[in-house]
Amino acid sequence: MAMEGAPFATDVLDAGRFEDVRDKVSANVEAVAFGPVTMLDDTIKKAETPEFSRPITLFIKGKPSAKVQKLIDYIRGDGQKYVKQ
């Protein structure tokens, strides 16, 4: 629905524990992860996103890459039509 038939990304990093997620995001400038805010430390930061029924927290390392910024812009913009008000 939201991707309008676009293929899913093939460059996904798999992580089972929050610590693994944090390590993968801090090691890859294009990585984006969803998780609890308790994952934050000085190696990653929180990207600003709108609040859904519960906050969605995207973790990134440094300034978002063009691809990551495109995702953030979508969540803030056109993606809002998929958010139940």
The tokens for 18 are 């929050």
User: What average pLDDT does the segment 38-43 reach?
Assistant: 87
Closest of 56, 67, 64 to residue 29, by C-alpha? 64
Neighbours of 25 (CB within 10 A): 24
The tokens for 60 are 């990134």
What is the domain partition of the chain in residue ranges? 30-82
CA–CA distance, 22 with 33 (Å, rounded to integer): 8
More confident of the two residues 20 and 54 = 20
Is the model's pLDDT at 57 over the cut of 50? Answer: yes
pTM comes to 0.50
CA–CA distance, 18 with 1 (Å, rounded to integer): 28
User: What average pLDDT does the segment 74-79 reach?
Assistant: 84
